Amino acid sequence: MDSNEIKGQWNQLKGNVRKQWGDLTDDDVAEIKGERDILIGKIQERYGIARDEAEKQVDSWRAG
């Protein structure tokens, strides 16, 4: 799934994002709006991890 697919399917993917990263708030998910970079930043912020680790998690989730 590429970035354009994430944006296009964001309403359907929101629940999956919340399931995968339960520490993200509804406000976080609303702010992300399907933007990969914002999702990565929010994961970094909520989980206190490095950007490269957050990117790996997002890429793994997208491939899943």
pLDDT single digits (tens) 13-50: 899 999 999 999 999 999 999 899 999 999 999 999 99
The token duo for 15 is 């629940």
Residue 30: the pLDDT is 93
Write down all domains in the chain, each with its CATH number in brackets.
3-63 (1.10.1470.10)
Length of the chain equals 64
Three-state SS for 41-58 is HHHHHHHCCCHHHHHHHH
Is the predicted pLDDT of residue 3 greater than 70, yes or no? no
With cut-offs at 50, 70 and 90, classify the pLDDT of residue 8.
Answer: confident
- Reduce the DSSP state of residue 25 to 3 states and report it: coil
Residue 35: the pLDDT is 92
The token duo for 51 is 């950007």
pTM for the full predicted model:
0.85
Cβ partners under 8 Å of residue 3, min gap 6:
36
